[in-house]
A and B are shown apart, each in its own frame.
Chain A
Amino acid sequence: MVSFLRRIGNRVLFRLEGLGRATMMWGLAMATLPRKGDMTLLFRQIYSIGVLSIAIIVLSAFAIGAVISLQFYTQLSRFGAEDAVGAGLALVLLRELGPVVTGLLFAGRAGSAITAEIGLMKTTEQLSIMEMMGVDPLRRIVAPRLWGGIISMPLLTAIFNVVGIYGGVVVGVYWLGADAGGFWSGMQDAVDVREDILKGMLKAAIFAVVVTWIAVFQGYDCEPTAEGMGRATTKTVVTSSVMILALDFFLTLSMYGDF
């Protein structure tokens, strides 16, 4: 019994220590003031994290929008409520699936790449030599990736939402034959800029911070071996995904729960 409690205690302390290190890294990286050339590093990260993720975001968004539209149309047409397809599609995408699916895809593509890149730099002592040259890796390596992720993910979410709605239009209106006027006017009536669009983007921003923070920390803190890097990359994807889903529940509860 004592050894069981000790094991639990050690595990809790280990987790708290990790959280402390992650918070320290975040604070120090965010506190560094930009210098000459830092914007170039940031734009390079926005390109590799954000721009290179657009293809997977567009493909996924189109497919998801199309499927939602198909399901809504099939069910709602039984009651003659095809005009509600546009409203339902927009609300589901803007409030939930846009930020959540973008976050999950972002964690899988960009998050794992960030962790692997920083982890490899640590394993090959590139971070150490940078420190010895008087260059702070938190400023040079960590901060541009954190900001790059935080800027890119909400923009990717916006692209996801637009393409997802377009996918829904292609299936619902052009293929299944729902009335275009009813589709768009239903969507216009149902969507509120503050309640749906801004709150959805707020979710995306929160997920961006969480996913990028996890990805950067796992790379920066990984054991400098091949196994350590593999574990860190897996942890990034798994932890980020679980955090996104769990956070989404609580964010939805606080934003839309009327208790």
Chain B
Amino acid sequence: MQQDYIIEVEDLCFTRGEKMIFDHLNLKVPRGAISAVMGPSGTGKTTLLRVIGGQLRPDSGKVLLNGKNVCTMGREELFRARRDIGMLFQTSALFTDMNVFENVAFPLRVHTSLPEDTIRDLVLMKLNAVGLRGARDLRPSQLSGGMSRRVALARATALDPDLIMYDEPFTGQDPISMGVILTLIHELNDALGTSTLLVSHDIHETLSIADYLFVIADGKVIGEGTPDQLKANESKRIHQFMHGDPDGPVPFHYPADDLRFDLLSEVE
């Protein structure tokens, strides 16, 4: 029986040094939908993706991926489970010793036994979808930031995974690329039945694409729902974030002493 949720995070606690990143966080990502995690900087959105991917182990709690707890998986089991996940990092993380074509072909070569001409066709189709078929022979150092992102996106979708996680996919994109990426995320999700989890600051784009949203702050989910539900949410914190207000319950400043005290104190 197919489950309703592809990811279920239960009572997740995670600390980094002295700082509590997640404090009994709970969220459930619906299968087949585009879900988004939003929140102010430093709230642990990227960390959440890494915990879901099993790259970081939480202090306590469960992360169920397709019903299996990622936190208790052994090394081999974890690597097997990750084959069903595609991930786009903020930094693109292209392999610098390979050209664009080889970067996209990498997961296909490692995880499948497809003949070379099939791999070639698949890679060219993926590159065509992100508008970079003509850049197949370029090295990563010859690409702009936005182009690198699109190559990384093509690579993340190469194996048509069950779940694709995007870390800030809209950052650094020009308006045309932005439109292409929005369309692509939508099409991948609908055509392949993929589930999508993206974290982003870009409220406008995220609201336009997401079926379901989570807003996290202070280590917890402070609001969730459809875009319309969140827009109508009367919580001051969610209102501040959705409208980008500098004043409100979510502090803009990192905790510090009074500015006057700092300015008048002696240089150490």
Contacts of A192 in B (CB 8 A): none
Please provide the chain A residues from 74 to 120 with a CB less than 8 Å away from any CB of chain B in the complex.
Answer: 120
Contact assessment for A126 and B96 in the assembled complex, using a CB-CB cutoff below 8 Å:
yes
Nearest CB of A to B121, in Å: 20
| Residue of A with least CB distance to B53 | A132
B68: interface (CB < 8 Å): no
A28 to B78, CA, bound (A): 15
Q: Kindly name the residue among A37, A132, A135, A136 whose own CB sees the greatest number of chain B CB atoms within 10 A.
A: A132
Contacts of A131 in B (CB 8 A): 53, 55, 79, 82
Q: Contacts A134-B79, A135-B79, A136-B79 hold; do A129 and B111 have CB atoms under 8 A apart?
A: no
Contacts of B107 in A (CB 8 A): 133, 135
A124: interface (CB < 8 Å): yes
Query: What does the 1/0 interface line of B92-132 toward A look like (CB < 8 Å)?
Result: 01111000000000110111000000000000000000000
| Residue of B with least CB distance to A139 | B79
Contact assessment for B79 and A129 in the assembled complex, using a CB-CB cutoff below 8 Å:
no
Contacts of A125 in B (CB 8 A): 89, 91, 93
Contacts of B95 in A (CB 8 A): 126
Please provide the chain A residues from 157 to 187 with a CB less than 8 Å away from any CB of chain B in the complex.
Answer: none
Contact assessment for A126 and B106 in the assembled complex, using a CB-CB cutoff below 8 Å:
no
B80: interface (CB < 8 Å): yes
A10: interface (CB < 8 Å): no
Query: What does the 1/0 interface line of B1-32 toward A look like (CB < 8 Å)?
Result: 00000000000000000000000000000000
Contact assessment for B93 and A133 in the assembled complex, using a CB-CB cutoff below 8 Å:
no
Nearest CB of A to B79, in Å: 5
Query: What does the 1/0 interface line of B124-155 toward A look like (CB < 8 Å)?
Result: 00000000000000000000000000001000
Contacts of B85 in A (CB 8 A): 132, 134
A125 to B92, CA, bound (A): 8
Contact assessment for B110 and A129 in the assembled complex, using a CB-CB cutoff below 8 Å:
no
A252: interface (CB < 8 Å): no
A128: interface (CB < 8 Å): yes
Contacts of A124 in B (CB 8 A): 91, 93, 96
| Residue of A with least CB distance to B107 | A133
B83: interface (CB < 8 Å): yes
| Residue of B with least CB distance to A132 | B87
A120 to B91, CA, bound (A): 13
Residue from the list A37, A129, A135, A136 in contact with B93, Cβ < 8 A: A129
Contacts of B111 in A (CB 8 A): 133-134
A124 to B82, CA, bound (A): 20
Closest 3 CB pairs between A and B?
A: A134-B83, A134-B82, A129-B93
> Given A125-B89, A131-B55, list of 11 further CB < 8 A pairs?
A125-B93, A126-B93, A126-B96, A129-B93, A132-B87, A133-B110, A134-B79, A134-B80, A134-B81, A135-B107, A136-B79
Q: List 22 A-B contacts (CB under 8 A).
A: A37-B109, A120-B96, A124-B96, A125-B93, A128-B89, A129-B87, A131-B55, A131-B82, A132-B53, A132-B55, A132-B85, A132-B87, A133-B82, A133-B83, A133-B107, A133-B111, A134-B81, A134-B83, A135-B79, A135-B107, A135-B110, A136-B75
